[in-house]
């Protein structure tokens, strides 16, 4: 009886110790991953300068590399001259003739008016002589014809002067403005090509690799270097189906690795919609050939993200809630 009582007491002690033992949070194996940006120029050219090296930390809008732009500068200067010429021609259609040209027409008009007055006076004199019987009717007819011709010349020059003061026809003005706009668009294209010869960092990060050296030819769209922004570092880990139901987006987790110091606070940013086999990089005796779901978590602070290195093994622990 005493032996049975001692056994029961021992079981109660073990049960109480188990109840008091700290609860172990679930953990999974994974690795660090980085979404690298491969920076290239949309135009081809010889690499003139490379202003960074592998491992350098860069800030947003910091110059990274430049391609030779001699040809683009010449094309830009030509396009600018064409644009200025087209704009000048368009502005010219909005104006009348020059003041000096108008002065010539005005002088011709004054002369024609004087001749018309003389012709009209001669017509009156011939009509008087005809009434007195000193000339024949034909002389009066000739004077009337000259008077009409002189008056017609006056009307012609008045119309010419009025037309010279007007701008070009509306169709011509629209055509000139369209040519000016086309020339300006061509200028914008060459200016864009010139600007694209120099590339800057789209965001802060670290240069992970360079693929060309100054003097080498770079094709359009071919990456010159690789940039890994701090915000694009993340943890990728795999959990079995049984543990998937306890995880959700934006759930807090902790990332642990050898030599990382304090755990890194992170939040789940992605949960794969379907299962896959455990990747070889995290094979173990317990996990080999098991179907798991891939999950990604991103550090909450950029300075903590800098502590993650792509390919680095990690242990992911669910934070206590």
Transcribe 246-258 into DSSP letters: T--TT-EEEEE-T
pTM exceeds cut of 0.75: no
233, with CB counted inside 10 A (0-12, 13-18, 19+), is buried
* Average pLDDT of the residues of the chain: 83
More confident residue, 133 or 15: 133
pLDDT at 273 over 70: yes
295-318 pLDDT per residue, tens: 999 999 988 888 898 989 999 998
The HSE-up count of residue 86 (CA atoms within 13 Å, CB side) is 20
What does the pLDDT read at residue 219? 95
Own/partner contacts of 141-146, CB < 8 Å, gap of 24 or more, are 143/119, 146/119, 146/122
The two three-digit tokens of residue 66, written as one number:
């430049």
For residue 130, pLDDT over 90 is answered with: no
The model's confidence at residue 85, banded by pLDDT at 50, 70 and 90, is confident
Average pLDDT in the 175-194 region?
A: 80
* pLDDT reported for residue 292: 87
In 10 A of CB 146, how many CB atoms? Answer: 18
Query: Would you give the DSSP letter of residue 79?
Result: H
Q: Contacts by 118-126 with C-beta closer than 8 Å and gap 24+?
A: 118/150, 119/143, 119/146, 119/147, 119/149, 119/150, 119/151, 120/147, 120/150, 120/151, 122/146, 122/147, 123/147
Mean pLDDT of 261-289: 78
Backbone torsions φ then ψ of 278, nearest 5 degrees: -60, 125
> Could you give the CA distance from residue 82 to residue 179 in angstroms, rounded to a whole number?
10
pLDDT at 11 over 60: no
Quick: pLDDT tens for 220-253: 999 999 999 988 999 999 998 888 888 999 999 9
Cβ of 197: how many Cβ atoms within 10 Å?
Answer: 19
More confident residue, 281 or 51: 51
Q: How much helix, strand and coil, in percent to the nearest 5, is found in the chain?
A: 45, 25, 30
Q: Is the pLDDT of residue 200 over 60?
A: yes
Sheet arrangement for strand 198-200: 198-200, 63-67, 45-50, 217-218
Q: Going by DSSP bridges, is the β-strand pair 291-299/276-277 parallel, antiparallel, or unpaired?
A: antiparallel
Residues of the chain above pLDDT 70, percent:
86
Instruction: Look at the alpha carbons of 223, 224, 225, 229 in this order and tell me if their dihedral is positive or negative.
Output: negative
The neighbour count for residue 17, using CB atoms within 10 Å, is 9
Q: Look at residue 63 and tell me whether its pLDDT is greater than 90.
A: yes
SS3 of residue 178 by DSSP: helix
Check residue 6 and give its pLDDT.
44
Distance CA 163, CA 110 (A): 17
**Pick the residue with more confidence: 97 or 240?**
240
Mean pLDDT of 60-69: 94
Distances (CA, A) of 59 to 55, 88, 135: 13, 44, 105
Report the pLDDT value the prediction gives residue 18, as an integer from 0 to 100.
Answer: 39
173 has pLDDT over 80: no
For 257, counting Cβ atoms within 10 Å of its Cβ (0-12 exposed, 13-18 middle, 19+ buried), the class is: buried
Instruction: Give the count of alpha carbons within 13 A of 217, CB side only.
Output: 2
Q: What average pLDDT does this structure show over 184-191?
A: 82
**Distance (Å, rounded) from C-alpha 234 to C-alpha 309?**
9
């Amino acid at each position: 009886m005493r032996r049975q009582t001692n056994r029961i007491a021992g079981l109660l002690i073990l049960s109480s110790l188990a109840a008091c033992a700290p609860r172990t949070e679930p953990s999974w194996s994974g690795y660090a991953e980085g979404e690298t940006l491969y920076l290239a120029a949309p135009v081809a050219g010889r690499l003139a300068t490379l202003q960074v090296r592998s491992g350098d930390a860069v800030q947003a809008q910091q110059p990274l590399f430049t391609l030779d732009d001699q040809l683009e500068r010449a094309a830009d200067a030509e396009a600018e001259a064409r644009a200025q010429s087209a704009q000048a021609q368009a502005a010219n259609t909005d104006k009348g003739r020059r003041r000096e040209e108008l002065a010539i027409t005005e002088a011709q008009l004054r002369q024609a008016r004087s001749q018309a007055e003389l012709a009209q006076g001669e017509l009156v004199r011939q009509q008087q002589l005809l009434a007195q019987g000193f000339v024949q009717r034909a002389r009066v007819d000739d004077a009337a014809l000259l008077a009409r011709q002189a008056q017609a010349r006056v009307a012609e020059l008045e119309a010419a002067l009025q037309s010279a003061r007007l701008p070009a026809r509306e169709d011509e003005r629209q055509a000139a403005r369209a040519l000016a706009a086309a020339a300006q668009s061509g200028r914008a294209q060459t200016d864009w090509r010139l600007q694209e010869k120099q590339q800057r960092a789209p965001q802060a990060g670290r240069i992970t690799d360079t693929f060309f050296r100054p003097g080498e030819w770079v094709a359009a769209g071919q990456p010159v270097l690789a940039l890994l922004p701090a915000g694009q570092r993340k943890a990728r880990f795999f959990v079995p189906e049984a543990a998937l139901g306890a995880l959700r987006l934006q759930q807090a987790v902790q990332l642990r690795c050898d030599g990382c110091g304090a755990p890194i606070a992170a939040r789940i940013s992605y949960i794969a919609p379907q299962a896959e086999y455990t990747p070889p990089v995290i094979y173990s005796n317990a996990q080999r050939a098991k179907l798991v779901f891939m999950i990604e978590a991103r550090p909450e602070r950029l300075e903590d993200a800098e502590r993650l290195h792509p390919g680095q093994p990690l242990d992911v622990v669910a934070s206590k809630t």
